[in-house]
Amino acid sequence: MLEYILAKYNFWIYVILMMIGLYAMMGKRNLVKKLIGMNIFQTSIILFFVSIGVKAGDATVPILKGDGHGHGEHLIQVADYLNPLPHVLMLTAIVVSIATTGVALATLILIYKRYNTLEEDEIMAIRKDASSYKTQR
Amino acid sequence: MIKNWFKLISLIAVTMTGALLIYGTHDMPAWGDPNSPANSHVSPRYILEATQKTATPNIVSAVLADYRSYDTLGESAVIFTASISCLFLLRRIRGRKEGEGKI
């Protein structure tokens, strides 16, 4: 039982992080809190992928020992280096998350300038008032 | 209250999603298993051949900038699009007078 927990507990931690992010995106009404929830969600995915590439034992970061021109690398063992592919893919994911966060923050600035609030229900109330005003006229 | 009702619904949905995912980790390989599918199918080829093919000791940068350089090019397109859209979104404010955009 303890062995099973030790083999899986990191995945459970990432699932809990993902639940926190998803709940913040769905349940919170402040738009900045929704954005923070999205970032927590992305962080949990990134941690999950990086933890897939871990190899137990003496594995180190995937930088080969040697001069990089075919000398000194003839003893490469696959078990000596971590899996490089999740690291590469998560670099791409980090870039995408930065881009989405930047655009979302710029949009939030515009929303705040227009409605003077970032609470979702207040924005909806303002929009409702404006549309009823328009139909009256 | 309608708001608390919605929060309860979202809490139930999130809990169900999390329970499903935790149930799914039952089939995942153990943490740090060197023989897991992710570590034994494609990545050994990169670890063994990347240095000979790209003359780069750092396998991550070899894959990022050599094997997947088109991916990195698209990534820079993503960053460019995001920065341009930030620029246009924020520039609109400064040209407009204060209070002009209010409803």
Q: What is the residue-level pLDDT of chain B in tens, covering all 103 positions?
A: 566 888 899 999 999 999 999 999 988 888 888 888 888 888 888 888 888 888 888 889 999 999 999 999 999 999 999 999 999 998 855 555 555 554 4
A82 to chain B, closest Cα gap in Å: 8
Q: Please answer whether residues B86 and A103 qualify as being in contact, where contact means their C-beta atoms are separated by less than 8 angstroms.
A: yes
Q: Is B52 on the interface with A (CB under 8 A)?
A: yes
Helices (H), chain A: 2-27, 31-52, 84-115, 120-136
Domain residues for B87? 41-94
Give domain status of residue B18, yes or no: no
Q: Note the ipTM here.
A: 0.81
CATH number at residue A22: 1.10.287.3510
Both tokens of residue A64?
């080969």
A35 to chain B, closest Cα gap in Å: 16
What domain count does chain A have?
1
Give domain status of residue B74, yes or no: yes
B7 neighbourhood in chain A, CB within 8 Å: 27
What is the rounded average pLDDT of the residues A44-60?
A: 89
Give domain status of residue B78, yes or no: yes
Domain residues for A124? 2-54+83-136
Side chain identity at B99, as an amino acid letter? G
What is the rounded average pLDDT of the residues A49-59?
A: 87
Give domain status of residue B87, yes or no: yes
Assess whether pLDDT exceeds 50 at residue A94.
yes
